[in-house]
Structure formats: C-alpha cells, structure tokens
Amino acid sequence: MSPILFEIKDSIGFITLNRPEKLNSFNREMALLMQQKLDDCKGKDVRCVYITGAGKGFCAGQDLTEVTEPGAPGFNEILAEHYNPIITRIRKLEKPVVAAVNGVAAGAGANIALCCDIAIAAESASFIQAFSKIGLVPDSSGTYFLPRLIGWQKASALMMLGTKVSAQEAERIGMIYQFFPDGTFSENSMNIARYLAQMPTLALAYTKQLLNNSLSTHFDEQLQDENIFQQRAAQTEDFKEGLTAFVEKRKGNFRGQ
C-alpha cells in the first residue's frame, strides 16, 4: 500500500496521507512521495489541493520509530529533505491548498496543516505541538505561522506545554478556519475544495502570493505589490468572465485562465 494516495478529480488534487496504523506519521518514503504529489498538482488540471489523512488520524508528525532505525536519516536530512520541501511546496503552489484535518494532528503533522491556505477540521480532531514532550523544538514552519495565527503568548504556551487543542478551540482562537461535526466533515470539507476549484484560480494564486509577501514586506511595498497583482488579475480571462457574469446577473463560469 502506498503511503500517499493521490487522485485528481473535478480539478482537485486529493492527497491522502496513508499510514493509518501509525497515525499517518511520516517516514522518508512518505515524505518524498508527498513532495512528488505536490509537484503533480502544479499542472492546469488541478485548481485546488485537498490534503487529508486515512483512518482516524490526520498526521502524527515524524515517525519516531524510523529515527531509531540503523541507517535512519539524520535530523538535518529530515528537516532539509523531508519537511522543509513539503512546506515550501505548499506555500509556493499557485493554487489553494486545503488541509482537511480528520483526526489528531501532532508535531510536523499539525504544522503542515497550519501552513495550508485553509485549514479545516472534524470536531473530534485535535492539534498538538508535541515537540517539547520529546525534547525537540517545533519545526515545519510552526514557529513562523502559529504566532502569526493566534498571537505570540498563546503560541509560546502551546509549544512549550504541548497542550492538546480541540478543533472547536482551534477555530475559536483562529488557528484554523472552521470545524465541522464529524458526520458532515467529509462532505463539508470537500464542498470547500469543490468551490475553490471553480473559482478564478489565477486571482487566488495572486492572493496567495500577496499574503506570502505580506509576511516580510513593508507597508508601502505591499501596496505596490497589490497594484502589480491587481493589474495581472485584471488581464485574466476569468476577470472578464466575472465582470460579464455580474452585468448579466448570472453565476461566473471560471476556467482558471
């Protein structure tokens, strides 16, 4: 069984983390395959990416049994070759990436979810910055995104204490966008992906790039960037269609061009 399941359907790239007996924790094979599948989502046939986990968990981070095996990749390799390239690919992919957190998300698993464009969770899911409990520091961009999502003080406490955060609490504090009851989670989360996949993809890509830039630019520069990207968006076919649809009082039929 492949540790990553992948399918493109209705313009959505579905990536399923598939090591359910280990709560979908990452070994080297799975981390490298995940990078490949994210690359497979670069084409025009994919307009939204949906990442979820098989079985009861989303992802328990690094497979802690792998790191003790003889010949196991070292810590530097694990971050440089496994997690950092996954995070970078998610942030640079020119389309929305949805994390559909179906169950527990711990360590790197939590932080991969939090770097996605929209993180949603099932009511029974939870988030744990598990690193401190085993004597590691948070990685996979957690120290970058978590304080920006929920504020410094709360992020610092969650990372140091390793507190488990319920999906409901995660929504309340702004760590995720929304949680849904378990019974409707699959349908509701896929509806969000389906909706995104029908939207003006280039405008979403430019929005993503602007948000990425906003993390490191100054105000004046950001205003200039908005101007540049707005001009690009205004030249797309989808903008023409959006405008025409508005005037004709109908729903826009966007093609991602």
Q: Name the residues that contact ligand T3D, by CB under 6 A.
A: 22-23, 25, 60-65, 67, 75, 78, 104, 106-108, 128, 130-131, 134, 136, 139
In whole angstroms, the minimum distance from the beta carbon of 13 to ligand T3D comes to: 23
Nearer of residues 66 and 171 to ligand T3D, judged by Cβ = 66
In whole angstroms, the minimum distance from the beta carbon of 2 to ligand T3D comes to: 18
In whole angstroms, the minimum distance from the beta carbon of 174 to ligand T3D comes to: 22
Nearer of residues 44 and 133 to ligand T3D, judged by Cβ = 133
How far from 179 is each of 19, 120, 125, 219, CA to CA, in Å? Answer: 24, 6, 9, 32
In whole angstroms, the minimum distance from the beta carbon of 9 to ligand T3D comes to: 29
SS3 call for 249: coil
In whole angstroms, the minimum distance from the beta carbon of 78 to ligand T3D comes to: 4
Q: Are the CB atoms for 47 and 201 separated by under 8 Å?
A: yes
Amino acid at 227: N
CB neighbours of residue 104 within 10 Å: 22
Nearer of residues 125 and 233 to ligand T3D, judged by Cβ = 125
Nearer of residues 17 and 192 to ligand T3D, judged by Cβ = 17
Cβ-Cβ contacts under 8 Å for 41 (sequence gap 6 or more): 8, 13, 15, 49, 93, 95
Q: Are the CB atoms for 11 and 47 separated by under 8 Å?
A: yes
Instruction: Name residue, tokens 């961009």.
Output: 141
For ligand T3D, the nearest residue by Cβ is 61
Nearer of residues 25 and 236 to ligand T3D, judged by Cβ = 25
Q: What are phi and psi of 31, to 5 degrees?
A: -65, -40
Nearer of residues 80 and 243 to ligand T3D, judged by Cβ = 80
Distance (Å, whole) CA 183 – CA 207? 32
In whole angstroms, the minimum distance from the beta carbon of 8 to ligand T3D comes to: 28
CB neighbours of residue 52 within 10 Å: 27
